[in-house]
Structure 1
Amino acid sequence: MLDDLRLFVEVSRRGSFAKAAQDLGVGAPTLSKRVTALEQQLGYALLQRSARGITLTNHGQTIIDNMASELLALQAQCDALTGLEAKSFHLLCPQNLMIGPLYDALQSFQSRYPALQLHVEPANSLELLSQKRFDLAIRVGELDDSSVYQKRLGQIAVKALAAKHIANAQSLFLPFRRSQLPATESWQTLLAKYKHISYVGDITLVRKLVGAGNGAGVLPMTEIAALLAHANNTAFCYVDECQFTRNVYALWPNQRIPPKHVGAFIDLLQRQCQRLGYMQGEVLALG
C-alpha cells in the first residue's frame, strides 16, 4: 500500500497520469490501475477523473495534507539506500596470518578506506561463523560449510622441523588436533618416533617452542618463515619428508558476488598471497 500511496501523491502533484507516468518511467495505464486498486483497498475514491484531467476528492486531499511530505521523504531515504556506504567492516582472521603475511593487505585496505571502522577478531574456528557478525572471514583448512560463499586465496605447506642441534629430540609439538594430520603411513611413522607429543592450540606458541629448542614441531610455512626471520643464528632442519598442504579461503555471507568492500579486500589478499611463494604451496629452503 505504501508504494501505491506514493504513486497517488506523485500523480496529484503533477495533476496528470500522463505526466506522472513519464517522470516515473511507468506506463500511464499501469499507473491508473495502481491508483484504482488503492481506492478499492481503501474503500473510497481519491481522484475524480475527467477529460480535462484529475481533481482530488475530499479523501484524496486529506491524504495529501497528512501524508504527502512524509511519503516523499521516505521515498528519498529509500532511494539513498542504493548508494549507501557501510561505516564499519568486521573481519575474522587467524592472528598469525593477519599480523604476518597478510598484514600488508590489511594495511592497504585501511589506507584505501580510512573512514571505515575496522573490527578485527583473531579467530579460525568455523563454528564461530554462525554466531558472529562478519563481512569477511579468512580460514585455513578444508571447509564443509555451504552456508557461506568462498574463494581460495592460496595454500600453505606444512612440515615438521626442529633445531639441528636437537634433531633427535623426544618432544613433538602439534598445533592441530591429531585428526587434522593426514592418516598416512609416513605421518604415523613420524609420530611414533616421539616419546612426548604435546597438543598446543596456538601455532605461534609452537613456533616459539621450536625456536627455543624445546623440541620438534609441525608448522605451516607461514610460521617457518617467521621462525627463520628471527632465527638468531640457529639452524633448522626438516624432520623426515612428511608434508601436506592446507588451503586458505576467504569467506563471506549472503550473496554470491561479494559487496564492494569485501571484494576490494579479497582482491588485496589475493595479490598478497600471489606475491608470497609460501602462500602458494612452496616449501621454504632451510639452508
Structure 2
Amino acid sequence: MALITVTGYPCSGKSRRAQQLKEYLESKLVNPEYGGPTLNVLVLSDDSLNISRGVYDDSRLEKPARGTLLSAMQRHMGQDTILIMDSLNYIKGFRYQMYCAAREMKIRVCTIYVVAKPELCREWNSGREERSIKYSAETYEPSDLLDNLLQRYEEPSSMVRWDSPLFTIPWTDESPPNDDIWKAVTEGLVKPPNVGTQSVPKAPSDTLHILEHTATAIVSAIMAHQSASQGLSLGGSTALNVSPGLNVSINLPVRSLTLSEVQRYKRSFVTVHKKAMTIGTVEKGAVDLTEDAVARKFVEYLEENLKP
C-alpha cells in the first residue's frame, strides 16, 4: 500500500514521530468514515531488528546492517500494509534503493524528515541511560560516533523523486502533518517500476534450435518453390509449406533468388535474435519465439530486405 521513510539526525526524535504517525494512521483506519481496504500499520526499526547503534561506527558492520533493513522491508511491503521505516536512513543512495523496491511493488511512497539542532541531538543522546540505545562506539578506541554521523548525514530534498513527497517536521512541532501524510499514502500517485528493476523473462531453452531450424526450413521452402516453378511464376504472394502444420505466405521479388543471398539474410536474422536472447532484451521482455512466431518474424525480415 505505502512505504514511509523516516530520516533525520541520530537522536532527533524519529522514533517518537514514527510512533505518533502509527497511532494516527491506525485511528484513521478504524474510523467509521474510512471505507477503504483493510490495512496494517507496521514500524520497522533498528530496535525491532536487533541492530545495535554501534554498527554505524564500522563500515564492515554497517553494510550488512543496511542489508538486514532492506531485506526486512521487502518482506513486509505489500498492498495490505503501510510500512514505516524508522531508522537513520541517512544515505541518499540507500533511500533510493528503498524507493526502487517500493516502485517494484507498485506502492506509494513518502519521506518524513525529522529536524532537530545538532546540540539537541547530543543532549538527548547523552540523556539516554541505556547504552543499547545510545550512539556510541563499541570499541575501546576513542570515537565520537554521534558527531561522525551528524557530519555524514545527507539531507533529503523534495527536488529528487526518491525523497518526494517530503514532509519536514521541526523539533518544535507537537505532531507530524498527519492529514497530509494520510493523503499521500492513500491517494498519492503510484509510480510504475523502473525498467532497470524489472526482471526480464528468459527465452525457453530450445529457442535457439527453433530459431535456426525454422529459418533454415523457410530458406529451403523458398528455393524448392523457385526450382518447381522453373522461372515461370516468380514474385508476388507465395504460399510456402515449411513443415507439417506450418504454412506461411511471403511476398517475393520478381526475380530469381540465389541460395547464398537468402542464406546471408538467414544468418543475419539468427545472429540478431541470438544476441537479443543473450542480453535478455527479446522484444523488450515479451518472449514469444515459438515456431509460428519465428516463421512470421523471418518472413517479415525477408520481405523488408529482399530487393526487387
More strand by share: 1
TM over 0.5, yes or no?
no
TM score, norm. by length of structure 1 = 0.28
TM score, norm. by length of structure 2 = 0.27
